Structure 1
Amino acid sequence: LSQGNVAQQIFWYTAFLADMVKPKSEGNNTVDDEGNLLWRMAPSPHGPYWKEGQKIGYQDVGSWTILKSTPADRAKAAWLYAQFVVSKTVSLKKSHVGLTLIRDSDIRHQSFTDRAPKLGGWVEFYRSPDRVAWSPTGINVPDYPKLAQIWWQQIGDVNSGAFTPQQAMDRLAEEMDITMARMQAADESAKVYGGCGPRLNEPKDPAEWLGKPNGPKAKLENEKPKGETIVYEELIKRWTTQ
């Protein structure tokens, strides 16, 4: 991205940001000679099925895990290290270097107020309530490797023209249900997933779900209405006044 060959990037990790704000002398072609950004961040666009209050995207959220089997002396050392890493002084320094936040106090620090004009709207966004519209991914994928391989196969078949997107999504749903049913059986019989494996509902007619207040929506006649935009300066103003 920092080479300047991409006009618009719809998928964005905050981990990308550090390279995008480096000086031009370090090979960053997305800033001018004075280090001013030649780009800005904006919220993800949404389609016609979205309504106010729904999430717009997701954020990967990390965490610390200490296994029960870890020897006590190592667990204590790991716990001390974790406390060190998330402490206010270390976290603030890390946030400035990597531009990946873990503490609300970091983004509200005066040093980020001073740096905000050079970060393309990132500070304003994370200080606003809008940030919760990009919800954490959570831990709801019961076996990522098993399910991911099914997903990628469908993408390949759509790209090759072997299936339409609808055919691929229908097949994806069916194959994921079959796989998760096997996972459920293994978990119920031998606690393969520690008792936390998937538990599937009985299949129902789509009509039972469509039209429910918070359920999936039936296909719209017009899935591509005229697009609407917002003036960027107005958007930033909304972030800073909330």
Structure 2
Amino acid sequence: MTKTQRLHDVMARIYEKQKFTVDELAQEFHVSYRTMLRYLQELSVMGVPLYSEVGKHGGYSLLKNSSPQKQTGSFKRVIKPITHIAGVEFIAPFTAVYMAKVRIPFMWEELNNRVHEVINPVDKGSRIGVSLSRSQKYHYVAGIEVTNPKLLPQDMVSITLPPREYAVYIHVGETSRAEIDDTYFYLLDKLRKQGLDHDPKAYTLEIFNGTHLNELSVYIPLKQ
């Protein structure tokens, strides 16, 4: 088993347990205490919101509502033309949506390692995350905009989004999965307060301005 797969499995177990000790996970994965502690430190750097509790009944837990209060910035409404995206995808039953928080960071790592294979990128330095959450499934594509969606590297998929109007908000702060999800809910609340509504049948976009995924614009599709 590769280290990447081991980190993936540990992260999945963390989201299942919610609260745990290093010893517990070390025993489950048959590694030393020191090795598991190193895994947890690496996952924390990747954005997994871990909180350490000291004392007799201490351990680790997932930090809930960890995102700082959003700035009182405004969003803008834009009409984005037809967009072709090539990348790697994740599909799961909506009831297993928590797995997205585990899988998505590894999808971006895979895409960055293979971006040289993309034949016709519009901008090699830009990344686009495409997501759809419905009652039946959760669908996410970590990709890059291309001019021709038919020319695909092996094991990659393409998705074409029609022209439509979006509400766009600049995400400020960390770009972990928990932080981005928090921005979604914040923006949806702002839309409702202004009498607008998102289209749950359309894809939401996360446009990263840089390969390190540290600058992000969230695009919420508006009902037409």
Fold match (TM-score > 0.5): no
Structure in which a larger fraction of residues adopt strand = 2
TM-score, structure 2 normalization? 0.25
Of structures 1 and 2, the larger Rg is shown by 1
Structure in which a larger fraction of residues adopt helix = 1
TM-score, structure 1 normalization? 0.24
Q: Considering Cα pairs closer than 8 Å and 6+ residues apart, tell me whether 1 or 2 has the greater RCO.
A: 2
